[in-house]
Amino acid sequence: MRLESFVRGSWMSPGQELAEIYSAVTGDVVAQVANGGLDMGEVLAYARQVGGPALRKLTFHQRAELLKRIAIHLSERKDQLYTLSYQTGTTRSDNFIDVDGGIGTLFVYASKGRRELPNATFLLDGAVEPLSKGGSFVGQHVMTPLNGVAVHINAFNFPCWGMLEKLAPAILAGVPVVTKPATITSYVAHALVRMIVESRILPEGALQCIVGSTGDLFDHLTCQDVVSFTGSADTAQKLQRHPVIARESVRFIAERDSLNAAILAPDAGPGTPEFDLFIKEVAKEMTVKAGQKCTAIRRAIAPNAHVPAVIEALGERLSKIKVGNPELEGVRMGPVVGLGQRRDVLAQVAKLRTEANIVVGDPDNFTVEGADRERGAFIPPLLLHCPDPIRANNVHSVEAFGPVCTVMGYDGLDQAVALANRSDGSLVASLYTYDPATAADLVFGVGAFHGRLVLIDRDCAKEQTGHGSPMPHMVHGGPGRAGGGEELGGMRGVHHYMQRTALQGSPAMLSRVTQSWIKGAPTIEEERHPFRYYFEDLAIGQTFMSKERTITLEDIEHFAEFTGDTFYAHMSEEATKNHPFFPGRVAHGYLLLSFAAGLFVDPDLGPVLANYGLDSLRFIKPVQPGETIRVRLTTKSKSPRNEQYGEVRWDVEIMTDKGETVATYELLTMNAVRP
């Protein structure tokens, strides 16, 4: 098949120079790619002028709905992606990680967008900051979508997941995407983009795909654009040095080579569940996708006393791995992505062998099931042992991006930490121990050098997602050699595509601009209780001032007996003498909340359907028997949820009759939409 780029709303293949893509399994040509001929300035302009405005008109909830619809659409067609992916050398289980993992990431971001973001086009970031003594000048941070393009340059090993894990947070943020898949597996990415385009779910210009060379794309970037790159350190450094990146301060997120480590603790010796989990995980990371994962375990670090047992156990497990045509039943590992990749892996293995010995596997003598060993890009799992890792260099700096791992021993946790950190920054390290003290020493010893740490033991064994599986909820990235960037991480990934802006002004002005009431802004007092208003009729700043209620000693003692909360500060005047906080017996904080609810709740059936939460509670001043309280209830913000109801956030302040603030919090209710 001849692959086309999808740009400016059409499929195009203007280039005349054709590059051939070969099957990793058979060596046959599976696709052709045309290089050149695209006007990259126009591609970016189309995204900025068409895709960007269309996305920014939508709220976070509407964008989340787009992601959910795409995920459902792709789920119904994923078998087509499986079939194509076999030619890249991946097995059925490998495809589950790539295809289903990518679709799953869309679902996660769709769900988190609905649950964690407002039904608005911008975000409030943090609390209001008082900037003046009298309160007439305040500050508030807001986040808005960048007015540029998210340029995504993806690696060959995950043509589906790599594209979708970048696409999801960018679209949710409201920024159009230009995606560039790695050429060698671009036929899978091409099919994925075609499915999305044919669904017509995304607005015009929200997604474009460049197959082949990027040409002068980087020459047209601006300060409003973001480049997210996954690939080799050499390519990342070349792109980061581009003069436009520096001149325009273009945001650049890099996820690069990584010599990840698995650390077996001294307590996790042979016969323990943690030892077995270590062996299972190292073997899995060597063979899943033929070891072609940026998160794969490259260095297995174990106590010197356990190294022979580790090598023996890994040898036994790896000997059961059938290498061959990934479409065949029983084949556990396919080839690497191509003959060029095989040559590169073996060249890197040769460098490792200057400091380590191959103890499992023979690159010149192994069996391949259902395929030609020479025409396909096959390599057996290769386990090396480095006898002197302290003095070695290559095992800490050379990555063989295939089914290759090096075992190395240590004496004492300090040495284990030093070895793990010799990689100068990695995406992930996994720790195998059942001793919390050992786990803490390792976590805080290696944490600064690794973007993610997985603590695997018998308690989480059945449900842990594995060393090499980045989850959408957690950050994916690492310092130093790993690129210094971050992807995913839930809403953290969305923030990469937004600009944080500090707003300063009066409470009245900022309340109107942000549609969120700030203390000091004008309030609206109506005769009707605010709980009597339907969602759309309720105004921001609408306020209710309650009647007063005096707290008695009988109230406190009854509450204590009724709830069982007999904390000394509520029950004994003697116990509170010389207390740093309490001037004597005081009311329970939750008694005050309960009385506050009684003072401001309107009891009749009406538009308030439910009270479903309370945020940011702070008790500020203790209340003694004989003091009087009242409550101010103010509509802080509103967020539509569906056709039946919307979310209302109320600012609540409990105060004394003298105007002293007793407690503050935010109340969340679901209010019905007018029928």
Residues annotated as part of the active site: 255, 294
The Cα 185–Cα 151 span in angstroms is 18
Name residue 470's amino acid.
P
Which is it for the CA torsion 432, 438, 442, 444, positive or negative? Answer: positive
Q: How many CA atoms lie within 13 A of 308 on its CB side?
A: 1
Q: How many residues does the chain have?
A: 675
Q: What is the DSSP letter of 295?
A: T
C-alpha distances out from residue 401 to 198, 347, 542, Å: 35, 11, 61
CB count within 10 Å of CB 157 equals: 28
Question: CA angle, corner 362, sides to 360 and 363, nearest 5?
Answer: 130
Q: Which pair of tokens denotes residue 249?
A: 């301060």
Q: Which residues contact 555 (CB under 8 A, 6 or more apart)?
A: 587, 591, 595, 625
SS3 letters across 450-468: EEEEEEECCCCCCCCCCCC
Q: Look at the block and give the residue holding tokens 């609810």.
A: 597
Do the beta carbons of residue 636 and residue 614 sit within 8 Å? no
Name residue 297's amino acid.
I
Nearest to 123 by CA among 177, 52, 174, 178: 174
Name residue 651's amino acid.
D
Q: Look at the block and give the residue holding tokens 């595509």.
A: 497
Strand partners, 409: 302
Q: Which pair of tokens denotes residue 291?
A: 């070891």
Q: Which pair of tokens denotes residue 398?
A: 């050379």
The Cα 84–Cα 90 span in angstroms is 10
The Cα 97–Cα 93 span in angstroms is 7
Burial (CB < 10 A; 0-12, 13-18, 19+), residue 537, is middle
Q: Look at the block and give the residue holding tokens 């009749």.
A: 604
Q: Which pair of tokens denotes residue 120?
A: 């608005």
The Cα 243–Cα 231 span in angstroms is 20
Do the beta carbons of residue 384 and residue 404 sit within 8 Å? yes
C-alpha distances out from residue 221 to 1, 224, 567, Å: 31, 8, 63
Distance of CA 395 to the CA centre of its chain: 30
Q: What is the DSSP letter of 322?
A: P
Question: CA angle, corner 201, sides to 195 and 207, nearest 5?
Answer: 70
With residue 410 as reference, give the H or E element that holds it.
strand 404-410
Q: Which pair of tokens denotes residue 105?
A: 């990431």
Question: CA angle, corner 576, sides to 575 and 581, nearest 5?
Answer: 145
Do the beta carbons of residue 223 and residue 198 sit within 8 Å? no
